Amino acid sequence: MRKPSSSSKYVIAALVAATFGLTAGPALAQTTSQSDPGNAAANHRHASRKSVRQLTSQVKQTNEQMRATTGKLNRATAQLNQTTHRMNEARAKEMRVASAEHKVRKGERHQRSHIHPRNAHPANPNPPPR
């Protein structure tokens, strides 16, 4: 397997950084700042290893932060779901009570209207002939 050229290393570093949402600036800056004309290959190898370690460390930190944030978000979502459930139960109970009260009031009105008829003249039981 052949070794990648220095320009392809930059491309690989940029792709790796973009994949993990990081900037490739630090990795590329280290690669170029350590270039020594006398020992360029060794310096590139060292810089490449160092940048990979740095990117790996950054990725681990980002994953830990994401895990912590996801945990907080999951807990908040669970709490919101519980609160919403309790609110819906309370609302349903209030609606049942209000409905029962309404039926009671409606029943009272219905009974009163039969006890005390509103119209003194009932409808004519014998309609006029045709």
Per-residue model confidence as pLDDT tens digits over 59-94:
999 999 999 999 999 999 999 999 999 999 999 999
- Which residues of the chain are modeled with pLDDT < 70? 1-9, 11, 19-45, 47, 110-123
Asked if 9 and 43 count as a contact pair (C-beta separation under 8 A), the reply is no
- Distance between CA 85 and CA 78 in Å, rounded? 11
Residue indicated by tokens 């006029």: 128
> According to the model, what pLDDT value does residue 72 have?
95
- Distance between CA 13 and CA 10 in Å, rounded? 5
- Distance between CA 44 and CA 39 in Å, rounded? 9
Give backbone dihedrals phi and psi of 34, rounded to 5 degrees, phi first.
Answer: -95, 10
13-29: b (≥16 Cβ within 10 Å) or e = beebbeeeebebebbbe
| 3-class state of residue 26 by DSSP | helix
> According to the model, what pLDDT value does residue 35 have?
46
Amino acid at 65: Q
> According to the model, what pLDDT value does residue 62 have?
95
- Distance between CA 26 and CA 10 in Å, rounded? 11
> According to the model, what pLDDT value does residue 31 have?
47
